[in-house]
Chains A and B, each alone.
Chain A
Amino acid sequence: MLTYMLTRVFRAALTILLVMTFAFVVLRLSGDPAAIMLGPDAPTDSVDAFRAEWGLDDPIWKQYFAYLKSIAQLDFGISMRDRSSAIMLVLERLPATLALTVPTLLIQLGIGIPAGVYAALHRQSVADRGVIMLSIFGFTIPSFVMGLLLVLVFAVTLGWLPSGGQDSWRHAILPILTMSVGGIGILARFSRSAMIEVMGQPYIRTAMAKGLSWRDVVWKHALPNASVPIVTIVGFMVGSLIAGAVVVESIFSWPGIGRLLIVSVSNRDLAVVQCLLLVIASSMVIANLCVDFAYGLLDPRLRAKTTAH
């Protein structure tokens, strides 16, 4: 178990490093921040001063190691735009994003998994078909379309809810609704197919044959076994949740890290973009790491297999 966990942690760290390196190289290769920051008409000496100040004249590998070094000292750089600390900018915006993503995840889990399991246990019923159709619908509709449709209906036509901003909890309803739909669809579909597969296994037939109650068969035998693939999908969903936040925050003018990303990217604010990518990648990697550990708890076989590999 320890080897398994250590390998996973090592891989996770490597992934984060890879993302950081990738972001660094792409951002540095793509153009001169000085020209963007100061505008094309800036006098040469102020451009030179800017470049010198931000270390842009050094060779790229030197800049890279300087960057890694400062990250190691928990110095995430300062915004080129207003010279405030990049990490502070990100942390300031983080609660707003969490206020959307956490309820969204809870809603997705709370509706998606039960719906999928129910559909699997009542195959071919009206409810099952309904769940399938709704879930396909849910993940084929892009979040920006969903968001705009909700705005059109609830804000523009009916006037029940505000279409943007972050002044009260009512402002959060539409963004959360928008983000939840896709994930509910994916989860319901996956839970359904995982559950159907488990229910077809010989040990379930054995459990039923030996006279266990239906409830016991489902709760003690089927659900624990179906939980492994479901947990995998939940891990992947955290990534799409953050990606979804970028779009949804943009639609609803929600001041979270998604908006910050778009603004910083268009301003070429290197330090902030890098810091954001680091935070986003880390949260995704940590989510996947949690999934890996959850495997260990849910299924000892997987653990053994991975170490033996």
Chain B
Amino acid sequence: MSALLQARDLVRCYEGPKSLFGKSPAVRAVDGVNLTLRPGETLGIVGESGSGKSTLGRMLLGIDPPTSGTVAFDGEAMPPLQSPRWRALRAQMQLVYQDPLAALDRRLTIADQIGEPLEIHRLAKGAERSERVRDLMAQVGLRQDQGDRYPHELSGGQRQRVVIARALATSPRLLVCDEPVSALDVSIQAQVVNLLRDLQESHGIAMVFISHDLKVVRNICDHVAVMYLGRIVEEASSDEIFAHPLHPYTRALVSSVPIPGKPLTGRILLKGEPPNPAQRPAGCAFHPRCGSAKPACHVAAPPLEPVALARRAACHLLVSPQDHAA
């Protein structure tokens, strides 16, 4: 099966603030990421804040142009930002935002906003559009009478349902969800995650699910990529990564996910500063916080290499452990 979305060597640099003594060095928010997503597949991207996961998501959608590298959708290169072809392509790929209130126009009713993509892409109008909007609202679990409401009159969970309905309006083939539940109450999170999973399954949409929360990702994704300071450090199927995390960072993340009914034991606590993309450590970026760092980790950054079937990781300890043992 051919890839729906293919990212090669994606890099995104942000210029540092200008100071009196010239520009500070550019911050590499995303640094050489390769990804493949097949139609109908779900990929979770996990990382702390500052790991570059949101930037990666925006580049995959073509909203943020990469500094270097390419994104291909359906085998074709991403057209330039804001070009007519880019706009037309929006019907195929949509974004679900972290903060639904900010993503909605406060002066339009939610029915108008859900129907807006249909209007923009001239997919339906008049009674047909109203019908489609009602259908979408039913799919995301909104009551029909809520169509005349304004965003601020709804709860957080309902707003996120509006954003999801709007994203689904054009029947996209790719949905990128950027921390879709982290702004919601914990009690609502599960509902929204389940809704997303059900919709993904019934529509067969390919999905990129970005989150800092491993257990949310596990619930919904086939594959998981773990990011640390702009790079993918481990990539595997969801089950594999939870059963046998390989990278020390993944191990730490997995160890902190509680399992219902069991006490949380063997938790690996990360020490040191949280990652700061402006000051990337030399060598393996994770080494200052790694419990088992070796001298080689201070010197060279490990490449992301296959370690098993459909499984990649970037760690000196895994590729050739005997070198370090010597």
Report the nearest B residue to A2, measured CB to CB.
B20
Beta-carbon nearest neighbor of A309 in chain B: B18
For chain A, residues 274 to 309, give those with C-beta under 8 angstroms from any C-beta of chain B.
307-308
Interface size in chain B (residues, C-beta < 8 A): 4
The distance from the CB of A1 to the nearest CB of chain B, in whole angstroms, is 10
Contact string against A for B residues 1-35, beta-carbon threshold 8 Å, 1 for contact and 0 otherwise: 00000000000000001111000000000000000
* Cβ contacts under 8 Å, B19 to chain A: 308
A9 CB, min distance to chain B CBs, angstroms: 18
Chain A contacts with B in 137-172, Cβ cutoff 8 A: none
Which B residues are in CB contact (< 8 Å) with A3? 20
**Interface bin, chain A:** under 10
Q: How far is the CB of A178 from chain B (nearest CB, A)?
A: 46
- A6 vs chain B, min Cβ distance (A): 13
* CB-CB nearest in chain B for A307: B20
Closest Cβ of chain B to A307, distance in Å, is 7
A1-45 interface code vs B (CB 8 A; 1 in, 0 out):
001000000000000000000000000000000000000000000
Majority SS at the chain A contact face: helix
**In the docked arrangement, what's the CA distance between A3 and B22, Å?**
13
Chain B contacts with A in 21-60, Cβ cutoff 8 A: none
Q: How far is the CB of A303 from chain B (nearest CB, A)?
A: 11
- Nearest-Cβ distance from residue B27 to partner chain A, whole angstroms: 16
Q: List A contacts of B18 (CB < 8 A).
A: 308
Minimum CB–CB distance from B4 to chain A (whole Å) comes to 42
Shortest Cβ distance from residue B15 to the other chain A in the assembled complex, whole angstroms: 12
Instruction: Give complex CA distance A3, B20 in Å.
Output: 9
Chain A residues lying within 8 Å of B20, measured Cβ to Cβ, are 3, 307
Q: How far is the CA of A307 from the CA of B17 in the complex (A)?
A: 11
Question: B17 — which chain A residues lie within 8 A by C-beta?
Answer: 308
**How many angstroms from the CA of A308 to the CA of B18 in the assembled complex?**
6
- Bound Cα distance A264, B129 (Å): 68
A83 CB, min distance to chain B CBs, angstroms: 53
Q: How far is the CB of B12 from chain A (nearest CB, A)?
A: 22
List residues 59-79 of chain B with CB under 8 A from any CB of chain A: none
Residues on B with beta carbons closer than 8 Å to the beta carbon of A308: 17-19
Query: Given the complex, which residues of B lie within 8 Å of A307, measured CB to CB?
Result: 20
Closest to B18 in A: A308
**How far, in whole Å, are A307 and B22 apart by their CA atoms in the complex?**
12
A220 to B20, CA, bound (A): 31
Which among B17, B18, B20 has the highest number of chain A CB atoms within 10 Å? B20
Smallest distance from the beta carbon of A213 to chain B beta carbons, Å? 39
The smallest beta-carbon distance between B16 and chain A, in angstroms, is 11
Distance (whole angstroms) from the CB of B24 to the closest CB of chain A = 11
In the bound complex, how far is the Cα of B18 from the Cα of A3, in angstroms?
13
Instruction: Please give the distance in Å from A300's CB to the nearest CB on chain B.
Output: 14
A308 to B23 CA separation, bound complex (whole angstroms): 10
Q: Distance (Å) between the CB of B137 and the closest chain A CB?
A: 42
* Minimum CB–CB distance for B95 against chain A, Å: 30
Bound-complex Cα distance A3 to B19 (A): 12
Q: Tell me the smallest distance from the CB of A227 to a CB of chain B, in Å.
A: 26
**How far, in Å, is A257 (CB) from chain B's closest CB?**
42
* Interchain nearest-CB distance for B73 vs A (Å): 37
> Given the complex of chains A and B, what is the CA–CA distance between A308 and B17 in angstroms?
7
Nearest A-chain residue to B17, judged by Cβ: A308
Bound CA span A308–B19, Å: 7
Write the A65-93 contact mask toward B (1 if CB under 8 angstroms, else 0): 00000000000000000000000000000
Q: In the complex, how many angstroms separate the beta carbon of B147 from the nearest chain A beta carbon?
A: 40
**In the docked arrangement, what's the CA distance between A307 and B19, Å?**
8
Whole-angstrom distance between the Cβ of A296 and the nearest chain B Cβ: 15
Nearest-neighbour CB distance to chain A for B68, whole angstroms, equals 27
CA–CA, A308 to B22, complex, Å?
A: 10
A121 to chain B, nearest CB (A): 36
* Least CB distance, B278 to chain A, in whole angstroms: 16
Distance of A3 Cα from B21 Cα, bound (Å): 12
Give the complex CA separation of A41 and B97 in angstroms.
Answer: 78
Determine the distance from Cα of A160 to Cα of B19 in the docked complex, in whole angstroms.
63
Cβ of A47 to closest chain B Cβ, rounded Å: 59
Q: Which residue of B lies closest to A1 (CB)?
A: B20
- Complex Cα–Cα for A157 and B20 (A): 65
CB proximity of A37 to chain B, nearest CB, Å: 55
Q: How far is the CA of A247 from the CA of B19 in the complex (A)?
A: 48
The smallest C-beta distance from B90 to any residue of chain A, in angstroms, reads 33
A261 to B318, CA, bound (A): 86
Chain A residue with minimal CB distance to B19? A308
Q: How far is the CA of A81 from the CA of B276 in the complex (A)?
A: 73
Assembled-state Cα–Cα distance A88/B20 (Å) = 45
Once the chains are docked, how many angstroms separate the CA of A307 from the CA of B18? Answer: 9
Question: Can you list, as one digit per residue, whether each of A242-281 has a CB less than 8 Å from chain B (1) or not (0)?
Answer: 0000000000000000000000000000000000000000
Inter-chain CA distance A3–B17, complex, in Å, is 16
Cα distance, A308 to B20, chains bound together (Å): 8
A55–B219 Cα distance when bound, in Å, is: 86
Looking at the assembled complex, report how far the CB atom of B279 sits from the nearest CB atom of chain A, in whole angstroms.
20
Closest chain-A Cβ to B84's Cβ sits at a distance in Å of: 34
Complex alpha-carbon distance, A17 and B20, angstroms = 29
* A69 to B: closest C-beta gap in Å: 38
Can you list 5 A-B pairs, Cβ within 8 angstroms, ordered by A?
A: A3-B20, A307-B20, A308-B17, A308-B18, A308-B19
Query: Lowest 3 CB-CB distances: which A-B pairs, in order?
Result: A308-B18, A308-B17, A307-B20
